[in-house]
Amino acid sequence: MKKENLSWILRLIISALFIVSAVAKLYPSPYFAISTFEVKQLYPLGFSEGFAPYFSRILIGIEFALGIAILLKDYLKKITIPATILLLSVFVIHLSYTTFISGNSGNCGCFGELLPMTPVEAIIKNIIAIGLLIWLIKLLPADGKSNFWLLKSVGLGCVLALFMLAPIRPVEKVTEEPTSEIQENLGVVADSTSLLTVEIPETEVPTTNVPTVENPEVDVKKAEETPTKVKSGYEKYFPGIDTDKKILCYFVPGCDHCMDTAKELNEMRKKDKNFPPIYVIFMNEEPEKVPTFFEFAGTKFPYKMIDVIPFWTELGDGRDTPGVKYLWNGNEFKYYDGINENKFNGAEFKKLIKKPYSELKK
């Protein structure tokens, strides 16, 4: 095969690798994907909430630019290929360090959520790509007449395009609201911009026995069998959630696994009149699917919708949707998340919510 033909094959492979990597980081929607990339990949590296949005968009823009520039003749050997090798080398060093510290687990984020890849798989991929680039340098003749302004325009254009595709949004701060059992019972919950009244399924309101002087020992024993009330931090979303048993869920409106979990919880609730009230925090991604979500679940739960980054932050580092928390007087006794080993287990959960406090605190 002629050197020219072989060099073009290598250039097309490298170009496709970078363009697909950049496009994958925008799946299924630019803002959602980039925000997820920031929280799951950049925050653990120490990037601040203020700097991460700029770095992520510039990085993806550079990937697009290199994918295009590798097909241009301008400064191919002097700038484009060395810059590509440098970027891949940085990725290899970072992934090697991550693997050494945390092991070969999780998605490295090279291809976003579209093509999950472990750190070791990504390291192998990047080393192969560096090898192909070194081979390409040897095949190519010296750079001829080149247009630096064209190369510069491609780079700036790609970066600016990312900022237009996924504009940086100010992070919404949720302030604490005063606790109100009346609000809770009426089902008044807030979305990201206003207060909405959400229909709450009919549930039996637990009655509280009035303590009597004749049975002080019984009252003391009963008090000891419930956990001390604490602040969970979720009163800002649902006033009264820190009282008695509650279930807090983290769902994405378009997530099939989240819909299945919501439906399973509703089926359990219908069969148990003492089932704890259910509350939902939705990610503000495809909010138009919320009615379909509740239609599939078979009921409506009180919910709060928050932006992508605060949602991932609330969900917790290393966790994924669907998330289900069992709270009792604000204390967290169980937290299911994702679709793997820690996924929601209905059979286990039914037994869990029936356990007395004496068993849960062991």
Query: Does pLDDT of 111 surpass 90?
Result: no
Name the residue with tokens 């949004």: 169
Greater pLDDT, 350 or 216: 350
pLDDT score of 172: 58
Query: Does pLDDT of 355 surpass 60?
Result: yes
pLDDT score of 207: 41
Say which range, 11-15, 201-205, 224-228, has the weakest mean pLDDT.
201-205
Query: Does pLDDT of 105 surpass 50?
Result: yes
Say which range, 25-39, 78-92, 238-252, has the weakest mean pLDDT.
25-39
- Alpha-carbon distance 128 to 95, whole Å? 15
Pairing of strands 331-336, 323-328: antiparallel
Cβ contacts of 358 within 8 Å, gap of 6 or more:
225
pLDDT tens digits for range 136-186: 999 999 988 899 999 999 999 999 999 999 998 876 554 444 433 333 343
Mean pLDDT of the chain: 85
Query: Does pLDDT of 196 surpass 80?
Result: no
Query: Does pLDDT of 291 surpass 50?
Result: yes
DSSP 177: -
Name the residue with tokens 């750079």: 143
Kindly state the average pLDDT of the residues 296-320.
92
* Residue-by-residue DSSP string for 65-107: HHHHHTTS-TTIIIIIHHHHHHHHHHHHHHHHHHHHHH-S-S-
DSSP 287: G
Query: Does pLDDT of 289 surpass 90?
Result: yes
* Residue-by-residue DSSP string for 99-158: HHHH-S-S---TTTTTS---HHHHHHHHHHHHHHHHHHHHHSPPP-S--HHHHHHHHHHH
Confidence band (pLDDT; 50, 70, 90) for 239? very high
pLDDT score of 197: 36
Query: Does pLDDT of 134 surpass 90?
Result: yes
Cβ-contact 81, 133 below 8 angstroms: yes
- CATH superfamily of this structure's domain 181-360: Glutaredoxin (3.40.30.10)
Report the candidate in 324, 255, 325 with the shortest Cα–Cα distance to residue 292: 255
pLDDT score of 43: 86
Tokens of 44: 């653990």
